[in-house]
Amino acid sequence: MNVTRVPVLIVGAGVGGLAMSALLAKDGVHSLLVERRAEVFVYPKARNVGFRTFEILRRLGVSDAVHAVAEHPSDTVVKATVNGAIEEPAVAMNALVSGMVSEFEGLSPEPSVQFCPQSRTEPILLAHARHHGSQVRYGTELSFFEQDDTGITAVVRERDSGKSETLRADYLVAADGVHSPVRETLGISTSGSGVWPLYSILIYFRAPWRKLVPNLGDGDVLQIRNAEVDGLFVSTDSDLGVFVITYFPERGETAEQFTPDRCHELLLTAIGEQIPVEIIDIMRWQPAEQVADQFQCGRVFLVGDSAHTIPPFRAGGANIAIQSADNLAWKLAAVVNGVAGPELLSTYHTERHPIGRFCARQSCTGPQLEALRFDNDSVTLPPEEKASNFAVVIGYQYRSAAIVNGDAAAADPGTVALVDDLHAQPGTRIPHVWVHRDGQRISTLDLLAPGFTLLTGADGVRWTAAATSSSDTLGVPITAHYIDDTVDPDGAWAAASGLKPDGAVLVRPDDFVGWRADSLPADPDKELRQALSAILARS
């Protein structure tokens, strides 16, 4: 029997799976991704991209391409009569976005948030992954897998031809969605409020409807409420649109009643004009809050909705999926490339599970719930439990064996650790400040090279020598940068980090501080080597 060997098999080509493929390729690991769909999403799906996700895309080298197809975020919702005449402003569905823009000012070199639906981001990630040597096969499904101590045996099948292929992979990443067959096969349980009692039908269509509301921008939402129809138009690209309507099982209504003919009639009634309408697809949807109790089972890892299904009411799902992929990708690459011990992989669950659970729970609130007139005590958060946008997006601190001398090391590792600000604490994303290099203004995030980066103060000569020595000894790339008064003439980095001239911080490949030394020890080479060995699970 012919067996194809791949280092990593990825199942599911949503943004989480495509990000995994692209990030692994950046680190020289050529994965195989299979997706049962025949093509990338043409539907908008996840819509708003936050600054932390843009920072990952920036490091990947595709942020400019995403910016080129992105728009300013929408915070517009209006009510309208059947003929499209506006009655009055309604609650802004994306009111959260406006708060983010002001709250996140200065935290990142990237915009706080932009409107860029999944239908635009997926092709960019796909092209990047393929260009760097990874395979992505659409129309192909995982039909069988099993794992043993040394790897994964899997069978994938082309849906059109029925042709099957046996694979042998070192690891499997399940990015296969809310109902994840991989998670179900492994018997991994989930926690959370589960599927919510809010029943919606999403009607995807093409029609020249935007000419009737010429001031409606991409991502804007138009609410139609009258005696005949009550629903929301979500504008997307050109003539592609989505109409969202709620149905009520307690009234005897079912999803099956929304046939193509009925949906066509509803659309024309909502538009108020007899225009040509093409129904593309009809989907049922319910928001859900469920988090897998384990993100790892042996050599299998869960990413995206298979790991954490997050209600869309705080702009979380796709952003958190990409951030989880970023956390896992560098660790998988380090193990596959032989520079880290396999124990490093267990820190994926340790670090990301509390974040996934926290963000999913925090999504049980927000202005969109109020706009939908949806209130259910079993899923909404009490006001006193609501965290700030800063806490949800970036104000957390990892605690794991891949973080050395963290402030929260003694705390319960199963709960999320929050911080009030970022000052280069171990376990937090390094602070962004503007510095200068070669006559150009850049972010401290731009100083970070592939692999590990050591940032030192003005008295960092011995630290840079230690970085070179430790890199040679361990076979791990380490790039060292002085940040003195020529790089940081305004003292912004020194103020933000609190780092003394003879101190240093070691930044992991995912932009998070893995270790910090506030002063120069007697043997900096030994200290740095020990810290890096601990992070990489090297005995």
Cross-strand partners of 222: 78, 233
Q: Half-sphere exposure of 492 toward its Cβ, with a 13 Å CA cutoff?
A: 17
- For residues 284 and 245, the answer to whether their CB atoms sit within 8 Å is no
**Which domains are seen in the chain, by residue range?**
4-70+116-191+290-392 (3.50.50.60), 199-285 (3.30.9.10), 396-535 (3.40.30.120)
Q: Which pLDDT does position 242 carry in this prediction?
A: 87
530 by Cβ neighbours in 10 Å (0-12 / 13-18 / 19+) ranks as middle
Packing angle, helices 461-474 and 524-535, rounded to 10: 50
- For residues 78 and 90, the answer to whether their CB atoms sit within 8 Å is yes
- For residues 388 and 202, the answer to whether their CB atoms sit within 8 Å is no
- For residues 527 and 517, the answer to whether their CB atoms sit within 8 Å is yes
The pTM score is 0.90
142 by Cβ neighbours in 10 Å (0-12 / 13-18 / 19+) ranks as buried
Alpha-carbon distance of 494 to 320, in angstroms, equals: 30
Secondary structure of 369-420 in HEC code, one letter for each residue: HHHCCCCCCCCCCCHHHCCCHHHHHCCEECCCCCCCCCCCCCCCCCCCEECC
**Number of Cβ atoms within 10 Å of the Cβ of 509:** 24
Which residues, other chains included, contact 384 with Cβ-Cβ below 8 Å and sequence gap of 6+? none
DSSP letter (8 states) at residue 211: G
Q: Which pLDDT does position 409 carry in this prediction?
A: 47
Which is it for the CA torsion 525, 530, 535, 536, positive or negative? positive
DSSP letter (8 states) at residue 448: P
* CA distances to 181, 267, 520 from 459, in Å: 54, 68, 9
Antiparallel, parallel or unpaired: β 300-302 and 296-297: antiparallel
- Encoded tokens for 159: 């849906």
pLDDT tens digit at each of 539 positions of the chain: 689 999 999 999 999 999 999 999 999 999 999 999 988 766 666 678 899 999 999 999 999 999 998 876 654 555 555 454 444 444 444 444 555 566 788 999 999 988 887 888 999 999 999 999 999 999 999 999 999 999 999 999 999 999 999 999 999 999 999 999 999 999 999 998 777 788 899 999 988 887 777 777 666 778 887 778 888 887 776 678 889 998 999 999 999 999 999 999 999 998 888 899 999 889 988 888 899 999 999 999 999 999 998 877 665 688 999 999 999 999 999 999 999 999 999 999 999 999 999 988 887 765 555 544 444 555 666 666 778 889 989 999 999 999 998 654 445 667 899 999 999 999 999 999 999 998 899 999 999 988 999 999 989 899 999 999 999 999 999 999 989 989 999 999 999 999 999 999 999 999 999 999 999 999 999 999 999 999 999 97
Alpha-carbon distance of 139 to 173, in angstroms, equals: 18
Q: Which pLDDT does position 82 carry in this prediction?
A: 44
Q: Which pLDDT does position 413 carry in this prediction?
A: 62
Alpha-carbon distance of 140 to 130, in angstroms, equals: 16
Q: Which pLDDT does position 54 carry in this prediction?
A: 96
Packing angle, helices 317-336 and 15-26, rounded to 10: 30
Backbone angles phi, psi at 506, to 5 degrees: -105, 120
